[in-house]
Amino acid sequence: MSLALRDVRITVPDGERTRTLLDGVDLDIAAGEVVVVTGPSGSGKSTLLAAAGLLRHVDGGEVIVAGTPPAALKERARTKLRRERIAIVYQSANLIASLTAVEQLELVGHIQGERRSSARARAEALLAELGLADRRNQLPGQLSGGERQRVGIARALMARPAVLLADEPTASLDGDLSAQVSALLAEQARERGIATLVVSHDDEPLAHADRHLHLADGTLEQVGAATG
């Protein structure tokens, strides 16, 4: 299971003109591989991530998720692919305020049509694996920032995605927590064979990357193998 971008092109309106944000971007991420893309603010990192997540239209090229080029799919199948194979983690976990940690995860199982008892068991196991067993009945407001972010990652994993996308997953965390969360993300991605793309303007996720690419002027350049 993997993620591939082929010659992806995205332009956005910029006053009277258009600006090319992605200028024929090629990217291959294998199952279990963790790729980090850095770049200056406004360079198009979030746009790249949204395109990879099939959340955004591309003006050229294609995005291939788990071997399936979405262009070949009807709208419904495309939605299913997005919902079942892709998980996204944002800077803030975007948890639902009225649901406990375990309920956040169970909801994902519910959406995917999983039986309640099975979803509950998987949710409990995932939270335990991410060191959150004793937090499972807390509401988001009763969790620390780092715990919320870990619940967000657990929720993403609950969907059993082929592709995991993370937009600035450590930007709201400081020091140790930031390192912890990015290590956890990479470790889980490898263990579960999930193709993982992290975009970040801070350096923390780089320590755990298999590859580091830099986005500038619409193109992706390899920065060199990370020590990982």
Ligand X SMILES: Nc1ncnc2c1ncn2[C@@H]1O[C@H](COP(=O)(O)OP(=O)(O)OP(=O)(O)O)[C@@H](O)[C@H]1O
3-state helix, strand, coil in the chain (%, to 5): 40, 30, 30
Amino acid code (one letter) for 127: L
Q: 98 by DSSP, 3-state: which?
A: coil
From 46, 92, 172, 219, residue interacting with Mg ion (rule: CB under 5 A): 46
Q: How many residues bind ligand X (CB under 6 A)?
A: 12
Written as one string, the DSSP assignment of 27-40 is EEE-TT-EEEEE--
Residue 170 in contact with residue 181, Cβ under 8 Å?
yes
* Nearest distance in Å: CB 147, Mg ion: 24
Give the pair of three-digit tokens for residue 120. Answer: 């509950």
- With CB under 6 A as the contact rule, which of the stretches 42-50, 99-107, 156-164, 177-185 interacts with ligand X? 42-50
- Residue 102 binds which one of Mg ion, ligand X, none, with CB within 5 to 8 A depending on kind? none
By beta-carbon proximity to ligand X, the closer residue of 2 and 43 is 43
* Nearest distance in Å: CB 7, Mg ion: 22
Nearest to 7 by CA among 35, 20, 137: 20
- With CB under 6 A as the contact rule, which of the stretches 25-33, 37-45, 58-66, 69-77 interacts with ligand X? 37-45
Residue 196 in contact with residue 33, Cβ under 8 Å?
yes
By beta-carbon proximity to ligand X, the closer residue of 178 and 188 is 178
Give the H or E element holding residue 147.
Answer: helix 145-158
Beta strand pairing call for 211-216 and 34-38: parallel
* Nearest distance in Å: CB 23, Mg ion: 18
Q: Rounded to whole angstroms, how far apart are CA atoms 87 and 165?
A: 6
By beta-carbon proximity to ligand X, the closer residue of 106 and 168 is 168
Residue 116 in contact with ligand X, rule: CB under 6 A: no
By beta-carbon proximity to Mg ion, the closer residue of 46 and 180 is 46
Q: What is the dihedral of CA 185, 189, 190, 196, to 10 degrees?
A: -100
Applying the rule CB under 6 A, the residues between 189 and 218 that interact with ligand X are 201
By beta-carbon proximity to ligand X, the closer residue of 4 and 199 is 199
- Residue 117 binds which one of Mg ion, ligand X, none, with CB within 5 to 8 A depending on kind? none
- With CB under 6 A as the contact rule, which of the stretches 40-48, 99-107, 158-166, 184-192 interacts with ligand X? 40-48
* Site for Mg ion, rule CB under 5 A: 45-46
